[in-house]
């Protein structure tokens, strides 16, 4: 699963890390002490937070989020397959959730990625696991990204 860490998550924006991500799942630990990169105890799931430095205004309405979701889907579809995007409400602002399949070296990884504005800067929270991975970490990670990460 170690190959997940840099390759799959390289699809997120590169840049300076944000403040430490708080991962509320039992048994998850930072990878090599990096509070922006977490894995479950079995190493089957990986979660990364990144702050790009790229300007990204707050999505103040569902319409703004839908517009961005469409553009994001078109852009991601150039490099990965099975792309689905949707706006998600974050109590006063909107974010966009993307899910897609990433293939490398004969393996396929399921990725869930949240795009949101952090003081006008793009921040992403990305989770990945190998396709078909049945560990309980998969659902917990996806639920965290979908409902709790902000």
CATH number at residue 109: 3.40.1000.10
12 SS3 class: coil
Distance, in Å, from the CA atom of 55 to the CA atom of 84, rounded to the nearest integer, reads 23
Judging by beta carbons within 10 Å of its beta carbon (0-12, 13-18, 19+), is residue 111 exposed, middle or buried? Answer: buried
Instruction: Determine the pLDDT at residue 132.
Output: 81
pTM equals 0.83
Domain hosting residue 72, numbered range = 4-148
* Mean pLDDT, all residues of the chain: 85
**The residue to which tokens 């949707």 are assigned:** 86
Distance, in Å, from the CA atom of 110 to the CA atom of 130, rounded to the nearest integer, reads 6
The answer to whether residue 9 scores a pLDDT higher than 80 is no
Instruction: Determine the pLDDT at residue 22.
Output: 75
Total domains present in the chain: 1
Q: How confident is the model at residue 19 (pLDDT cuts 50, 70, 90)?
A: low
Q: What is the tens place of the pLDDT at every residue in 98-145?
A: 999 999 889 899 999 999 999 999 999 999 998 887 778 998 999 999
């Amino acid at each position: 699963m170690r190959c997940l860490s840099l390759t799959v998550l390289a699809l997120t924006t590169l840049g300076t890390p944000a403040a430490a991500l708080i991962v509320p799942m039992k048994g998850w630990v930072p990878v090599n002490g990096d509070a922006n990169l977490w894995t479950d105890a079995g190493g089957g799931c990986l979660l990364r937070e990144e702050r790009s430095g790229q300007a990204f205004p707050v999505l103040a309405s569902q319409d703004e989020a839908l517009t961005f979701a469409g553009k994001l889907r078109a852009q991601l579809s150039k490099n990965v397959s099975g792309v689905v995007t949707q706006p998600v409400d974050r109590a006063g602002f909107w974010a966009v959730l993307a899910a897609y399949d990433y293939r490398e070296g004969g393996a396929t990884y399921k990725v869930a990625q949240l795009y949101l504005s952090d003081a006008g800067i793009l921040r992403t929270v990305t989770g990945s696991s190998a396709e078909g991975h049945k560990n309980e970490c998969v659902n917990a990670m996806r639920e965290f990204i979908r409902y709790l990460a902000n």
